[in-house]
């Protein structure tokens, strides 16, 4: 049986004075660097819908094992000069290498809008998502602490330890207004919700 895809989810803040350099680094170097790792399929970047300098990135891989592969770990061990320059300015980083437990639209390209719902530790929604509107893609993903790993030379550049979130519900939509009612479905199981708009997406060549 083919292994299910993996998903690397990262979100963080950046100071407004550093946004230009941060975005240029991502678009000119970092996405292509990650997609050159064997097993990486897609990369997508998002900006917070709220007036805050927060960004998210998601990378789908052939399996979660790609995120502990020799090729990927070699990248984490050898940050580029531009990575070394920008990462010390990251703020409040959350990062998780995840197994995908549930996906209503596997293999589809990133949608224009995204909600990341962080569940309370040990909590799960009381039921599966309601009737699936065609505008929505639902995923439930489980972070793996061992695959996510601890301190690497790249992580050590950031000013504080990364936060490993608990289980995530990821909702993608073609319509921003659909995110709020979709996130509300999670109800009391939710610890927090962040909503983002797509900046760019790419596929591995």
What is the arithmetic mean of pLDDT over 123-134? 61
93 domain residue, yes or no = yes
Residue 1 belongs to a domain? no
Q: How far apart are CA 100 and CA 5, in angstroms?
A: 6
Residue 130 — very low, low, confident or very high, per pLDDT cuts 50/70/90? low
Residues 6 or more apart in contact with residue 156 via CB below 8 angstroms: none
Per-residue confidence (pLDDT) for residue 68, from 0 to 100:
97
Token output for 140: 């439930």
Q: Is the pLDDT of residue 125 over 70?
A: no
* 34 domain-assigned: yes
Q: Mean pLDDT in the chain?
A: 91
The enclosing domain of 12 has a CATH number of 3.30.70
Does residue 5 surpass a pLDDT of 70? yes
CA distance 150 to 152: 6
Model confidence band, residue 183 (pLDDT cutoffs 50, 70, 90): confident
Residue 183 forms part of a structural domain: yes
With a cut of 60, say whether residue 18 has pLDDT above it: yes
Domain presence at residue 51: yes
pLDDT tens-place string over residues 159-172: 999 999 989 999 99
* Residue of 63, 128, 127 whose CA lies nearest to 99: 63
Residue 30's CB: how many other CB atoms inside 10 A? 19
Answer whether residue 92 is part of any domain: yes
Domain of residue 173 covers 6-203
What is the number of structural domains in the chain? 1
Is residue 100 within a helix (H) or strand (E), and if so which, with residue range? Answer: strand 90-103
Q: Is residue 191 part of a domain?
A: yes
94 is a domain residue: yes
Distance CA 143, CA 197 (A): 23
């Amino acid at each position: 049986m083919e292994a299910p895809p993996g998903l690397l989810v990262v979100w963080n803040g950046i100071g407004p004075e550093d946004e230009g350099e941060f975005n240029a680094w991502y678009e000119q170097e970092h996405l292509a660097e990650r997609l050159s790792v064997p097993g990486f399929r897609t990369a997508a970047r998002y900006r917070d819908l709220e007036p805050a300098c927060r960004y998210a990135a998601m990378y789908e891989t052939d399996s979660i094992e790609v995120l502990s592969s020799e090729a990927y770990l070699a990248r984490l061990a050898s940050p580029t000069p531009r990575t070394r320059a920008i990462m010390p300015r990251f703020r409040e980083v959350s990062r998780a290498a995840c197994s995908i437990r549930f996906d209503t639209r596997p293999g589809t390209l990133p949608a224009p809008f995204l909600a990341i719902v962080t569940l309370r530790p040990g909590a799960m929604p009381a039921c599966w998502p309601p009737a699936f509107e065609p505008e929505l893609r639902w995923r439930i993903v489980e972070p793996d602490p061992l695959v996510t790993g601890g301190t690497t030379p790249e992580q050590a550049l950031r000013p504080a330890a990364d936060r490993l979130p608990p289980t995530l519900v990821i909702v993608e939509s073609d319509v921003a207004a659909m995110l709020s009612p979709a996130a509300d479905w999670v109800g009391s199981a939710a610890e927090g919700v962040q909503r983002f708009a797509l900046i760019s997406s790419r596929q591995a060549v």
